[in-house]
A and B are shown apart, each in its own frame.
Chain A
Amino acid sequence: DAGVTQSPTHLIKTRGQQVTLRCSPKSGHDTVSWYQQALGQGPQFIFQYYEEEERQRGNFPDRFSGHQFPNYSSELNVNALLLGDSALYLCASSFLASGGQYFGPGTRLTVT
């Protein structure tokens, strides 16, 4: 049973560019949440997708957007990248938005 997978593993972008990160949830899970984790910090909630709609959003600007596909996989898009967007981006999946989330390995984004 495959767990949560994310791609790519690492990414280097230039300030002002746009990036798309991808996530496939654990088998049987229908809800995907995205988190940003700065070095030495706890994960910060970006948003959650369920039934292809954004259901809840954290304190992140509109430059952060997402999408969920019919197969429950999800994308995180970040526009107009800033140096401060450099972080580990984590995807977590769960069933029916329960609290027991399973995290992927993350995508390390570096903005130069």
Chain B
Amino acid sequence: QQQVKQSPQSLIVQKGGIPIINCAYENTAFDYFPWYQQFPGKGPALLIAIRPDVSEKKEGRFTISFNKSAKQFSLHIMDSQPGDSATYFCAAFNTGGFKTIFGAGTRLFVKA
């Protein structure tokens, strides 16, 4: 019940394409859903986050869509660039439980 399932494991898109990464959770106590971007040899960087009372959030080229009834959320990267090539992690956080549960990650490669 504490798991966050992320798909796909890897993704290759052309420059300008819109990669979509999906995540699903079980525990309805989760109340904060961040996405992290990680480059090789670096720590994860907070990209964008959403709370369950919002269905969509945009920040720059990054958009989170959230479906509370389906317990699913996704990340869309508009006009993807080669510099977006990285591993992306979805996560879920329970304010009362204090810990963040991460998905397994999606390795994105954007072809020039």
Contacts and interface: CB of A to CB of B under 8 A. Distances in A.
Contact of B49 (A44, A45, A100): A100
A104 interface: yes
Contacts of B95: 97-99
The 7 closest A-B pairs by CB, nearest first: A99-B32, A99-B93, A42-B102, A103-B43, A56-B98, A45-B99, A103-B44
A103 B99 contact: no
Number of chain A interface residues as a range: 20 to 34
A104 B103 CA distance: 19
Nearest to B51: A99
Contact of B105 (A41, A56, A100, A103): A41
B43 A42 contact: no
B43 A33 contact: no
B99 A58 contact: yes
A48 B103 CA distance: 19
A56 B44 contact: no
Contacts of A56: 97-99
A76 interface: no
Nearest to A96: B95
A81 to B, nearest CB: 22
Given A100-B46, A106-B43, A43 B89 contact: yes
A26 to B, nearest CB: 11
A43 B34 contact: no
